[in-house]
Amino acid sequence: MKKFTFIFAALFAATFANAQITLERTFNYFVCTPYESIDINGYTMGDIFAYIDNGTLICVDALTYNETARITIPNMKGYDLIAKNIFSTDGLIGFIASTGNSKDGGHGYIYNQNGIQLADLGEYDYARIIKLSSGYKLVVYNTDWYWDEKTQTSTSKYTTSIYSLPGNGDISADAMSPSALRKSSARKYLNKDQVIIENADHNYTISGQEIK
């Protein structure tokens, strides 16, 4: 039973450490979504105020007014959907950054406040976060326009991509970090070139085998 507990705890920690943004489906249509959503027009999620100063995204705690992050991503033209514990469950602020180098729109990436890229969204016009009964989703819209020289008319192709998001806005409800897992009284020591794990009433090898 002890061995099972150790293995389960390790798997539990690994699962949430690897929680990530995942593309679930892409539609070749403009898809209507639930009304409850956060669009790109100057909103943040969480207790965050944010503004741009000379190309640097500055985030401020909305309760204390203390600056919490100062983020500069090279070649980025715009920042959207600034959120905490939505794009990840590690307590870091995440956001969409756009290169704006497409003739039709921009190329979007999701970064955290440390400048680490969490996802590549591809070409996109705009995005929104929606809330479903199962949690939050990221909806990314893109429109490609085509010009027909013969008919002198334009046609458009719509795509809507749906991404799952690991966070729900509250890190304590999402997962405990590995460092926050319950501490035990177990200790490790070396005995005859073998690592032994000792707790209150049993000893185990590093592989979980009990030593009688």
Supply the Cα-derived Rg of the chain in whole angstroms. Answer: 23
| Residue 204 one-letter amino acid | Y
User: By C-alpha distance, which of 40, 42, 28 is closest to 157?
Assistant: 28
Residue 71 CB burial class (10 angstroms; 0-12, 13-18, ≥19): buried
- The gap from C-alpha 38 to its chain's centroid, in whole angstroms, comes to 16
Mean pLDDT of the chain: 74
What's the sign of the alpha-carbon dihedral 51, 54, 57, 60? negative
Q: Which two tokens stand for residue 131?
A: 């809330």
78-84 and 44-45 strand pairing: parallel
| Residue range 141-191, pLDDT digits in tens | 988 877 777 777 777 889 999 999 998 887 554 333 333 333 334 454 455
117-124 sheet: strands from edge to edge = 44-45, 78-84, 93-98, 106-112, 117-124
- Tell me the residue ranges of DSSP E strands in 125-152: 126-132, 135-148
CA–CA separation, 58 and 79 (whole Å): 11
- Tell me the residue ranges of DSSP E strands in 89-193: 93-98, 106-112, 117-124, 126-132, 135-148, 153-164, 187-191
| Residue range 23-69, pLDDT digits in tens | 999 999 999 888 766 666 667 888 899 998 888 899 999 999 999 99
% helix / strand / coil in the chain, to the nearest 5? 10, 50, 40
> Is the distance from CB of 3 to CB of 204 less than 8 angstroms?
yes
User: By C-alpha distance, which of 118, 81, 124 is closest to 100?
Assistant: 124
Rounded (5°) CA angle 99-100-103: 135
Q: Distance of CA 173 to CAs 70, 93, 169, Å?
A: 27, 17, 8
Instruction: Kindly state the percentage of the chain with pLDDT values over 70.
Output: 65
| Residue range 85-103, pLDDT digits in tens | 999 998 899 999 987 655 5
pLDDT at 40: 60
DSSP bridge pairs for 84? 93
User: Which of the pair, 83 or 77, is modelled with greater confidence?
Assistant: 83
DSSP bridge pairs for 117? 111
| Residue 102 one-letter amino acid | S
pTM of the model: 0.66
Would you say residue 212 has pLDDT above 80? Answer: no
